[in-house]
Structure 1
Amino acid sequence: MSKIIRIAAALLIDPQGRTLLVRKRGTQAFMQPGGKIDAEESPAAALVRELHEELGLRIDPQQAVYLGSFSAPAANEPGFEVQAELFRVDSAEAVAPAAEIEETVWLAADEVPALPLAPLTRDLILPLYRKALNAPR
């Protein structure tokens, strides 16, 4: 049985329809911004806290639209599975890498990133994002 890391993650989308990927210091894989959910914390509260710590982004939890729970092998912790509570956040705010974030990349829906991606991002979240943006509004 693999060990579970519970996280809250943001499918952060800018006014141009691009989504933000981040890379933590000392790691290779790009992934959605977000982070571990503390014991007494709701996923939405964790998301708000992590986006502020990692990107200097202040969001209202009401802005975060819950998209579901997704699981995949953890990118940076071998033998672990990451279980992400995923939220869509539309924001025009500027972001700046902070805390453990070393690099940020905005990705358009039709772009195939030439970057190493976390399994969750590559296999589940990016396909969902592309489908959401191509779907009739």
Structure 2
Amino acid sequence: MADGRVEQLIDTVAWVRIESGRILCARPRGKHIFYIPGGKREGGETDLQTLLREIEEELTVALLPATVAHVGTYEAVHGPGGAPVVRMSCYTADYRGTLAASSEIEEVAWFSYADRPLVPPVDQLLFDDLLHAGRLR
């Protein structure tokens, strides 16, 4: 940055699951905000490895690797001044198993576009694109 501060980047991967015009969101334990399910990579993980691990950890289902498709990558500042930038690489995928909140997740919900204010800025960019594509109601 021009003033000498180093911009922090949080690199995440997220699973975009849409059913009946609503997108799956999750609220982690101890947090008040919902997120698109997913998380940060560990070590040298690829996007696919991160996605498979995080979704199994959070929602107790197994994504089917052959069905994973990139939706888009979004970046936004996560909060007021000095907050880090979050990069979220988004993927769709089919799954096997029954969706259920793990011990990491307090609550899961299916959001429409009207619920956009309940998610962080980077997730809101995804909501906007999905609305414009006619996939979110």
Pairwise TM-score range, normalised by the shorter structure: 0.7 to 0.9
Q: Could you list the runs of 5+ residues in structure 1 that have no partner in the other structure? A: none
* CA shift in 2, pair 1:55/1:49, >3 Å: same
Partner of 1:103: 107
Partner of 1:133: 134
Separation of aligned partners in 2, 1:51 and 1:18: 18
Query: Which structure has the greater CA radius of gyration?
Result: 2
- Tell me if 1:8 matches 2:10: no
> What is the TM-score with the length of structure 2 in the denominator?
0.81
* CA shift in 2, pair 1:105/1:32, >3 Å: same
- Which consecutive segments of 4 or more residues in structure 1 shift more than 6 A? none
Q: Could you list the runs of 5+ residues in structure 2 that have no partner in the other structure? A: 1-5
Q: Of 107, 119, 122, which residue of structure 1 is paired with 2:121?
A: 119
Which one-letter code corresponds to 1:42 in the other structure? T
* CA shift in 2, pair 1:134/1:46, >3 Å: closer
Partner of 2:69: 65
Percent identical pairs in the alignment equals: 27
Pairs aligned (count): 129
Q: Of 8, 18, 23, which residue of structure 2 is paired with 1:19?
A: 23
* CA shift in 2, pair 1:6/1:114, >3 Å: closer
| Contact 1:29–1:117 (Cα < 8 Å) also in 2 | yes
